[in-house]
Structure 1
């Protein structure tokens, strides 16, 4: 008997336990958080491909992690620009990790904007953001 895409008459369709998009997001995050795998270029490439679709759909954690990867690990200006935009979107959505990273990126060009994002991250408990705020020039 061949199985086709449709369920046989009379038997209910079985829903998948985890949607494929959510599964790919979880796998990508696991790969990036795994200390043995995260530093390998091929693993980062795979994780980046898995994060791309959820990031496009507005999943904040995917935007944050993909933005960080593109800003840190990619050599092209286009990738860094896309990563910068993804981090900004995630930071605006309230992701403290993205706020910290975006504030760090803004330090050289716009210290006032960096201060804004670092204060938001510090307000959510980020010790690194507090440390970086202390290094910014004081406002008069």
Structure 2
């Protein structure tokens, strides 16, 4: 049985977010925002892994959240530098949380 997919016209200015990216972002945000789970290093590691692919593909919310996570939680300078780069990309795209974080980070 064949199913025809309807062609979805998307505007060239707003990139479409696939359902898998949206799902991984929601799970990562739920893990990080959970009062019981969000403080555990293993949970932060899993959330970072879930945010990595959407952030690479240009999802601003993922860039902002992963940048914050890397700047706050990573011990080495390389990871903090990558986190700052992600925050800069998200801030340039207009993310207020990233702009505030950069104000704190680059004092």
Taking structure 2 as the reference length, the TM-score comes to 0.83
**Structure 1 residue 21 displacement after superposition:** 1.9
Look up the match of 2:31: 31
- In 2, Cα distance between equivalents of 1:70 and 1:19: 25
Separation of aligned partners in 2, 1:53 and 1:24: 9
> Where in structure 2 are there 5+ consecutive unaligned residues?
6-17
**Alpha-carbon shift at residue 73 of structure 1 (Å):** 0.3
TM-score for the superposition, normalised by structure 1: 0.64
CA distances 1:70-126 after superposition (whole Å, capped 9, x unpaired) = 00000011100000000011111111110000011111xxxxxxxxxxxxxxxxxxx
Gaps in structure 1 of 5+ consecutive residues: 1-9, 108-140
Q: Which runs of 4+ in 1 moved over 6 A?
A: none
Higher Cα Rg, which structure: 1
1:45 aligns with: 45
- The Cα offsets for residues 23-52 of structure 1, whole Å up to 9 and x where unpaired, read as 111100111111111000000000000000
Pairing 1:81-96 to 2, within 5 Å after superposition: 81-96=81-96
Residue 12 of structure 1 pairs with residue 3 of structure 2: yes
1: CA distance between counterparts of 2:75 and 2:4? 46
Matches within 5 A, 1:1-140: 10-12=1-3, 19-107=19-107
CA RMSD, 1 decimal = 1.5
Count of aligned pairs between the two proteins: 95
Q: Which has the higher contact order (CA 8 A, sep 6+)?
A: 2
